[in-house]
Structure 1
Amino acid sequence: MTETNSTPAAPPERRRYSIWDNTKFMLRLARESVPSVPVLAVVLAVAAATRTTVEMFVAPVILRQIETHAPLNSLLLAIVGFTLLLVLLAAGHDLCETYTSLGRISVRIRLLEKIGLKTASTSYINTLDAAFRAKERKSTQSCSGNNTASEQVWTTYTELLTNVIGFVIYLTVLSGLNGWLIALVLVTAVASYLSGKRINEWGYRHREEEQTAFGRFDYLQSAASGRDYAKDLRIFGLRPWIVELRAGAMRTLRAFYAHRERTTVWANVIDVVLTFARNGVAYAYLIWLTLAQGLPASRFLLYFTAVGGFATWITGMLDQCSELNKESLELAQIREFLDWPEPYDLDGGERLAARPGHVYELRLDHVSFRYPGADRDTLHDVDLTIRPGEKIAVVGLNGAGKTTMIKLLCGFLDPTAGRVLLDGHDIREYNRRDYYTLFAAVFQDFSVLDTTVAQNVAQRLDGIDRDRVRACLNEAGLTEKVMSLPGGLDAHIGRQIYEDGVDLSGGQTQRLMLARALYKNAPILLLDEPTAALDPIAENDIYEHYNRMTAGRTSVFISHRLASTRFCDRILFMKNGRISEQGTHESLLAAGGDYAQLFNVQSKYYQDDTDANTNAGTADAASGATDTTVKKADSNE
């Protein structure tokens, strides 16, 4: 038996993304969508820093004009000049701010698209990982609004650059003062930044705890407000229970955020203390220069303004560094999700070219599979060859491993031991996406989108073969229902988006999924309980069409109802993750094993029902009782 190690182990090793790494990431993202966003950030920073610098010089220049007894026209010219310059700078800044806002939104939406693409295209087994799902929710949350890190980071870049430019300008103005004063301001500001940085990283260090708490609250919120649970909430009176659970999740989440904010506030306290100390020393020194050294009033005013502004630039620069650090941590979580490793090579491997008319052979070569964290195999040493064009039925009790077998055949999961072979070749040698194209399937979980009937069948927006859609709907027995809807093939399914949308019943939805599988016209057809929601008459109608639907294809059919397997070439009875019996319906009954015993149990309900119908004496009673007992039989399977 060939041993493999393809089952994903623990969550991926956490990577560190620096601020510079995330800055380069955002610049690449902007270049893909709106290249003007970083350019306008620089323009805004220059305009803002220039305007503040001009404002700093207004009063000292005018005061200097008065000190030197400059002519009135010169004084007025200075005032008018400063006014016009400030108006132009303010107007240009506001214009750029308005223009860049749409671009920043576009960049955030582009990031959301990447998150959606990762979710939709990741290896299937990742979707079973709770850590992957939690990271997905957190990433989406970090892109959900204008104030989230994915958009707000551009404002932070702009303000940081503004502070850097202002710092350089003011440092030049203050270069004539004593160097120790400037050093004091720098040292205290850096100390404030370093302490704040350490404290503000608390949330990032505990992000797993936040993800768990938020995920639980989000789930309960969806359960309380979604349509899926609406009937149960009312019939079983679940509202108090759900509300209590949600309140508990909210308390946990609120406690986490309260702890985070209590921790973060110490960064602000330290910053206030250090800012007060450095400003007090600087102002005392300037007053001494004025009183002892005869510093002119205009120079005093300039230095006095510059010292305050210089401290503000440093504080602002370090504050923005701290803010950028927090936003970078959020961006890092998004990148952790986008860079989440793929256990399967979805883009590499040998290409599988389309082979019209070719019928494939599938084989499970001593395959075992164990889900991550499980203490035993779900499938154990299964050896099975599905011959080209063969119709296989897989039956057994719940938990026998039937659906897991389907997922292994599809390539959604890789075996922990053994091989899955396609025409004798290990499927891991092939391009996984090409391999998926060989299958059409109807799973127990449906993926019906709120769109038109035709688009749900064809799974595309354009280039739909409408005649083929009609033919597939007819094969699935849904033509009459679809043609009765307003719009026919263009009728809207679902009511979350369209006001005129319709909700199909469970059986109708299964027929729609059958039509979709037929439309794909893949050489291998997999049906996992495709008639579970159908009544016996509708189920029998599907079986009558089954041979025609599967003509020229290899097919695997899973069912709990043993009476529905007679049309298959071979029946596999699974028990405890193994194939315990296989053969035709007649041979398995003759063997008198588990299959025969379960069939006799199920058929007893049909027989008892037949007697009841005879006693009732009416066809209507027979129909109703049959439907009732079939449902009863299902519940006992």
Structure 2
Amino acid sequence: MKKTKIFGLFLKEVWRTNKLQFLYLILTSIFASGQALLVIYLSKMVIDNVFTLDLKSFAISLGLLLLGKLSLSLLTNLFTKKNKEATLKTEKLMNKSLSDKIMNLEYSLLEDPKVLDLRERAAFPITSIRIIESFVGYIGKIVTGLLTLFGVVVLIAMQSIILLGLIILVIIAGIIFSVKMQNSIKKQQESIIPWNRVTNYLFSIAMNDGEQKNHRIYNTSKLVIDKTFEAMQPMFEGLNRIYRSVAGLSISRNIASTIAQSLALGYGAIRVLSTTFGPSISIGDFSVIISSTEKFTNAMGEVVFYFNEILVNIDYLQPWGEFMMLPDHKLEGKDKNMGPLETLEFRNVTFKYPNTDKVILDNISFSINKGEKISIVGINNAGKSTMVKLIMRFFKPDSGQILWNGIDISTLDNETYLKNISGVFQDFKLFPFSIYENLLIDQSGEQKVWDSLEKVGLKKRVEALPNGVHTNLDKSLDENATNFSGGENQKLAIARAINKEASLLILDEPTAALDPIAESEIFEHFSQLVEQKTSIYISHRMSSSTFCDKVLVIDEAKIAAFDSHKELMKTENKYSELFNVQAQNYI
């Protein structure tokens, strides 16, 4: 993406999230530049009144100067504060916007490693280096500088167009040199990024809790420390080059500013002392020339500097811009009249993942009735989890239909549809909130939480905690929290799934982290856990099929069988083959 497009997208997003940001920024700039111009002009009046010995006019002009400066200073401070508050709100809202984008992203993109990497790089400038605050600050400085420039250009031009032209030429020459220096600094900064990444990685190895055993057993700490300092050396050399360039940049600005102010000083002195370049001017006019030139050089320097800062730092927003332009997960269905599940039917469904040629499901058809417990089995990558993703509408079939009570799910309102589905997935996540909040999410009822904990065998464990179900998970965020084992977390995920008032329950490897005894308990009480809900159960452990009503066997993208465990074991087929092989391995 071009820098102008990224910056335009950034401004558009700021405008969308917080329009007051622009109002406060503009008002702050107006009052800040107005204060500077007011001081220049009213100071001239004060000085001229001193030399004319007009005491009354002197008092009035001095009073106006003090009152005007105080008023504009207070207004500048007020709107600077408002602008900072607005910036914090903008940061918060743009963080939310980024989160919303992630949540609404086309699901297929979330399985693309390049998109996952882009997501991390998109979040970095927003969450880690607070680039929104920086850019709002840059824009504010530029607007203030431009308004100040306009004012002082008028004041200088009123004295001499020639002087204004000379000052502009000197400042432009200094700007060209400064821009080259800033670009050089940018390249030097980029040159140390790889070494910075290596150093951070080595530091993480040194500090990582999981590596401490290796450090102590194999005495690797000295090796890691030596490697870290070895990687830091070129980084320090790069930083020294940057510091020297920054010093050179400062010197170049000072030289240009000094030349411009010397021209103004010489020209003003000549105009005061003679009529060589025109009528003699007052000391007040002399002060206007000197002050305006100083403000001109400072304002022009700030405008160019902060504009270049935007150009340099816009690269940080490149991943953000690309990420925000990715397509959303669009579901066009609007029908909310679906009702609880009576039948779920796959009708001639064919599917292959985007940008691949391998057919995962090939013209499959089957139906599940209300209250049935179905086990889906097959070898790895047979398409078991893919079927779940299709049911959840994460992907669309390439052909065929999935019908909920005879209605094509693509026509249903997605929010209403997903309210009827609950599940535990292989890569389930629990939030670092309380157990209660994790198990009910947007519902209420503490007794319901305790009932579900009892069903999965965690009630006594949670009762022993100081805050019971109101205990937070994850000690890394709360020292009073608790850390459950992997198996206990999986039980919590199962409890969360059975708590949701949904008519279809999907369990994709729900016992993968459980030990054999805990898994056996879940299997034995499976009917009680799911109650009357229609259930789809996916597991690599074939024994899970024995407590289900039917077993759906997938082989080579087709349905190889769909019958009860008892019936399937009567003949030689793919299911009996898989079941017997696994049974032998467990004996």
Which amino acid in structure 2 is aligned with residue 130 of structure 1? P
Name the residue aligned to 1:23: 11
Q: Residue 43 of structure 1: CA displacement?
A: 3.4
- My pick for the range that moved more, 596-605 or 112-121, is 596-605
Q: Residue 201 of structure 1: CA displacement?
A: 9.0
- Cα distance, 1:21–1:587 mapped onto 2, change above 3 Å: closer
What is the alpha-carbon distance in structure 1 between the residues aligned to residue 377 and residue 240 of structure 2? 53
Verify the 8 A CA contact 2:377 2:542 in the aligned structure 1: yes
Name the residue aligned to 2:119: 136
Secondary structure of 1:318 counterpart: helix
What is the alpha-carbon distance in structure 1 between the residues aligned to residue 416 and residue 86 of structure 2? 37
What is the alpha-carbon distance in structure 2 between the residues aligned to residue 426 and residue 442 of structure 1? 24
Q: What is the CA deviation profile of residues 430-466 of structure 1, one whole-angstrom value per residue up to 9, with x for unaligned ones?
A: 3333332232111112211122222211113xx5123
What is the alpha-carbon distance in structure 2 between the residues aligned to residue 220 and residue 439 of structure 1? 45
Verify the 8 A CA contact 1:204 1:329 in the aligned structure 2: no
Secondary structure of 1:591 counterpart: coil
Name the residue aligned to 1:615: none
Instruction: State yes or no: 1:537 paired with 2:520.
Output: no
Correspondent of 1:383 among 356, 361, 364 = 364
Secondary structure of 1:393 counterpart: strand
Name the residue aligned to 1:312: 298
Secondary structure of 2:430 counterpart: coil
Secondary structure of 1:142 counterpart: helix
Which amino acid in structure 2 is aligned with residue 368 of structure 1? F
1:86-125 maps to which residues of 2 (within 5 A)? 86-125=69-108
Q: Residue 133 of structure 1: CA displacement?
A: 3.0
What is the alpha-carbon distance in structure 1 between the residues aligned to residue 99 and residue 578 of structure 2? 45
Q: Residue 247 of structure 1: CA displacement?
A: 6.3
Name the residue aligned to 1:430: 412
- Cα distance, 1:514–1:45 mapped onto 2, change above 3 Å: same
What is the alpha-carbon distance in structure 1 between the residues aligned to residue 562 and residue 460 of structure 2? 38
Which amino acid in structure 1 is aligned with residue 29 of structure 2? A
Q: What is the CA deviation profile of residues 415-434 of structure 1, one whole-angstrom value per residue up to 9, with x for unaligned ones?
A: 45554444455433333333
Q: What is the CA deviation profile of residues 230-265 of structure 1, one whole-angstrom value per residue up to 9, with x for unaligned ones?
A: 798779979879969x969x889969x989979x97
Verify the 8 A CA contact 2:422 2:497 in the aligned structure 1: yes
Verify the 8 A CA contact 2:402 2:409 in the aligned structure 1: yes
Number of residues of Structure 1 aligned to a counterpart in Structure 2: 581
Q: Residue 297 of structure 1: CA displacement?
A: 5.6
Which amino acid in structure 2 is aligned with residue 566 of structure 1? T
Secondary structure of 1:557 counterpart: strand
Q: What is the CA deviation profile of residues 199-229 of structure 1, one whole-angstrom value per residue up to 9, with x for unaligned ones?
A: 9799999x999999999999998888677x5
Name the residue aligned to 1:162: 144
1:443-458 maps to which residues of 2 (within 5 A)? 443-458=425-440
Which amino acid in structure 2 is aligned with residue 400 of structure 1? A
1:476-515 maps to which residues of 2 (within 5 A)? 476-515=456-495
TM-score by length of 2: 0.80
Verify the 8 A CA contact 1:137 1:215 in the aligned structure 2: no
Instruction: State yes or no: 1:469 paired with 2:449.
Output: yes
> Unaligned regions of 5+ residues in structure 1, if any?
1-12, 608-637
What is the alpha-carbon distance in structure 2 between the residues aligned to residue 201 and residue 590 of structure 1? 77
- Cα distance, 1:139–1:224 mapped onto 2, change above 3 Å: farther
Secondary structure of 1:440 counterpart: strand
What is the alpha-carbon distance in structure 2 between the residues aligned to residue 211 and residue 582 of structure 1? 57
Q: What is the CA deviation profile of residues 551-584 of structure 1, one whole-angstrom value per residue up to 9, with x for unaligned ones?
A: 5433221111212211223323444555445543
Instruction: State yes or no: 1:566 paired with 2:546.
Output: yes
Q: Residue 518 of structure 1: CA displacement?
A: 1.0
Q: Residue 527 of structure 1: CA displacement?
A: 0.9
Instruction: State yes or no: 1:302 paired with 2:288.
Output: yes
Which amino acid in structure 2 is aligned with residue 369 of structure 1? K
TM-score by length of 1: 0.75
Q: Residue 341 of structure 1: CA displacement?
A: 1.2
Verify the 8 A CA contact 1:492 1:500 in the aligned structure 2: yes
1:396-411 maps to which residues of 2 (within 5 A)? 396-411=378-393
Name the residue aligned to 2:40: 56
- Cα distance, 1:18–1:598 mapped onto 2, change above 3 Å: closer
1:233-632 maps to which residues of 2 (within 5 A)? 289=271, 292-293=276-277, 295-296=280-281, 298=283, 299-325=285-311, 334-342=320-328, 344-346=329-331, 348-356=332-340, 358-363=341-346, 365-370=348-353, 372=355, 377=358, 379-381=360-362, 383-389=364-370, 390-416=372-398, 418-460=400-442, 463-575=443-555, 577-607=557-587
Q: What is the CA deviation profile of residues 367-420 of structure 1, one whole-angstrom value per residue up to 9, with x for unaligned ones?
A: 232354x5x526141513132133222223333332233222222223455544
Q: What is the CA deviation profile of residues 332-373 of structure 1, one whole-angstrom value per residue up to 9, with x for unaligned ones?
A: 75454334311x314x323233514x423131624232354x
- Cα distance, 1:74–1:565 mapped onto 2, change above 3 Å: same
- Cα distance, 1:113–1:406 mapped onto 2, change above 3 Å: same
1:3-22 maps to which residues of 2 (within 5 A)? 17=5, 19=7, 22=10
- Cα distance, 1:311–1:208 mapped onto 2, change above 3 Å: closer
Secondary structure of 1:383 counterpart: strand
- Cα distance, 1:178–1:55 mapped onto 2, change above 3 Å: closer
- Cα distance, 1:15–1:316 mapped onto 2, change above 3 Å: closer
Give the RMSD, CA atoms, in angstroms: 4.7
Q: Residue 517 of structure 1: CA displacement?
A: 1.0
Secondary structure of 2:346 counterpart: strand
- Cα distance, 1:41–1:556 mapped onto 2, change above 3 Å: same
> Unaligned regions of 5+ residues in structure 2, if any?
none
What is the alpha-carbon distance in structure 1 between the residues aligned to residue 254 and residue 424 of structure 2? 63
Q: What is the CA deviation profile of residues 127-164 of structure 1, one whole-angstrom value per residue up to 9, with x for unaligned ones?
A: 2233433343334332336x733123333333223222
